[in-house]
């Protein structure tokens, strides 16, 4: 059960700052212990030093964000004036620093591909809100997506998240001051859809509502269960199409349809990405994170006047786009596997 907000502010937020100070003071000890422990592992698995360095960077940045939030709270008449633009700027700064740390520590590279925009598309890029529908896979995909939406495209993101994420103090403070939503675990699909509809209905030109239609990271077991649920509901066409997708969970259309209906003027952006798909849990990251990490993403945009209307048409269209993403992932993985096979042979 999530602690009340007052306890999160009085206990968890100071705890992050204390943890950051402790890690910085004892950093030499952590480095020595981790380096000694890593000597027992083969070189590709010596990830301990990198994780320690990244943890120190993360805690330091979180502490800086909490300090800035306190300053904005005081400057904003103790919370009555939200200073939304300043908070969006703070999020972009934090994500930019985290991204920079990942680049240096994990040798992360991100290759974003999108169809070349026309002059009209460039002029209209910030003239309307967008709904961003992305696959959900790998560590930190939402962080990278939000960062690039802000840094490359000048968007103000909105997102629906699990309430448990409020245990992260900086997320708890900043995200609750902006148009976002945290949903408790007990909230059903109808409650999530209602939050999506609420956020979409008030979007303005620079806003971007981010939705992950799969509802979670892909695993083979989750895929089988999702297909079974479709069959039990009598959705035979959707189940058949889901069986044809090997790399994705079938999309749940309710949230996407609610957002499109609540904001019919929004363009829709689809995001496919691959590179760290097998790293789902913290254990996966520890065991399998490569020495250098590379993520490839493909984005394409559908203008609002080309988005279908009507629930059945939208559901088929969403599955159409998901099949495109699944095919793109299969082609990308095959292209990556070919050089490795050549080296083995």
The 3-class secondary structure across the chain, one letter per residue, is CCCCHHHHHHHHHHHHHHHHHHHHHCHHHHHHHHHHHHCCCCHHHCCHHHHHHHHHHHHHHHHHHHHHHHHHHHHCCCCCCCCHHHHHHHHHHHHHHHHHHHHHHHCCEEEEECCCCCHHHHHHCCCCCEEEEECCCCCCHHHHHHHHHHHCCCCEEEEEEEHHHHHCHHHHHHHHCCCCEEECCCCCHHHHHHHHHHHHHCCCCCEEEEECCCCCCCCHHHHHHHHHHHHHCCCHHHHHHHHCCCCCCCCCHHHHHHHHHHCCCCEEEEEEEECCCCCCCHHHHHHHCCCCCEEEEEEEEECHHHCCCCHHHHHHHHHHHHHHHHHHHHHHHHHHHHHHHHHHC
pTM equals 0.87
What total of structural domains would you count in the chain?
A: 1
Q: What percent of the chain has pLDDT over 90?
A: 52
- Specify the range with the lowest mean pLDDT, choosing from 100-109, 203-212, 251-260, 334-343: 334-343
Report yes or no on 103 lying in a domain: yes
Segment 139-169, tens digit of pLDDT: 677 888 899 999 988 899 999 988 988 999 9
**Structural domain that includes position 54:** 8-112+125-337
The pLDDT, as a whole number, for residue 239 is: 96
Report yes or no on 3 lying in a domain: no
Segment 238-288, tens digit of pLDDT: 999 999 999 999 999 999 999 999 999 999 999 998 877 666 666 666 665
User: If pLDDT is split at 50, 70 and 90, which confidence band does 342 have?
Assistant: low
Report yes or no on 344 lying in a domain: no
Report yes or no on 345 lying in a domain: no
Segment 7-65, tens digit of pLDDT: 999 999 999 999 999 999 998 898 888 877 766 665 555 677 888 888 899 999 999 99
């Amino acid at each position: 059960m999530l602690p009340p907000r007052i306890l999160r502010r009085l206990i968890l937020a100071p705890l992050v700052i204390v943890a950051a100070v402790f890690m910085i003071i004892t950093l030499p000890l952590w480095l020595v212990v981790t380096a000694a422990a890593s000597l027992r592992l083969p070189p590709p698995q010596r990830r301990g030093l990198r994780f320690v360095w990244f943890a120190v960077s993360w805690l330091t940045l979180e502490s800086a964000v909490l300090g800035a939030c306190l300053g904005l709270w005081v400057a904003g008449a103790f919370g009555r004036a939200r200073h939304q633009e300043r908070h969006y700027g703070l999020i972009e700064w934090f994500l930019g620093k985290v991204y920079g740390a990942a680049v240096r520590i994990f040798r992360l590279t991100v290759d974003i591909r999108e169809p070349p925009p026309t002059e009209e598309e460039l002029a209209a890029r910030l003239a309307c809100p967008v709904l961003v529908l992305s696959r959900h896979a790998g560590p930190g995909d939402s962080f990278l997506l939000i960062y690039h939406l802000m840094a490359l495209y000048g968007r103000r993101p909105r997102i629906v998240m699990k309430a448990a994420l409020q245990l992260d103090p900086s997320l708890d403070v900043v995200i609750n001051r902006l148009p976002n939503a945290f949903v408790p675990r007990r909230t059903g699909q109808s409650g999530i859809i209602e939050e999506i509809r609420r956020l979409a209905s008030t979007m303005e030109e620079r806003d971007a509502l981010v939705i992950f239609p799969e509802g979670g990271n892909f695993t083979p077991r989750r895929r089988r269960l999702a297909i079974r649920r479709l069959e039990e509901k009598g959705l035979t066409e959707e189940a058949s199409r889901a069986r044809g997708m090997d790399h994705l969970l079938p999309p749940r259309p309710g949230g996407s349809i609610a957002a499109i209906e609540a904001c019919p003027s929004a363009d829709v952006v689809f995001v496919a990405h691959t590179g760290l798909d097998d790293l789902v849990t913290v254990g996966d990251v520890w065991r399998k994170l490569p020495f250098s990490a590379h993520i490839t993403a493909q984005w394409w945009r559908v203008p609002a006047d080309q988005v279908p209307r009507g629930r059945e048409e939208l559901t088929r269209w969403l599955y159409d786009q998901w099949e495109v993403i699944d095919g793109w992932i299969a082609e990308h993985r095959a292209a990556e596997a070919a050089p490795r096979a050549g080296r083995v042979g």
